[in-house]
Amino acid sequence: PEERDIIYKSVSIEAGELPSKRTRVDIIAVNEGLKIVIQAEDVVSLRAALNSFLRFIDSSLKSIRAIFELERSSSID
pLDDT band at 75 (very low <50, low <70, confident <90, very high): confident
E-strand spans in the chain? 23-30, 33-40
pTM: 0.81
- What confidence tens digit (pLDDT) does each residue in 53-72 have? 999 999 999 999 999 899 88
76/69 Cα distance (integer angstroms): 11
Q: Which residue has the higher pLDDT, 40 or 1?
A: 40
What are the chain's domains?
A: 2-76 (3.30.310)
What pLDDT is recorded for position 73? 87
- What confidence tens digit (pLDDT) does each residue in 9-61 have? 999 998 988 878 899 999 999 998 999 999 999 999 999 999 999 999 999 99
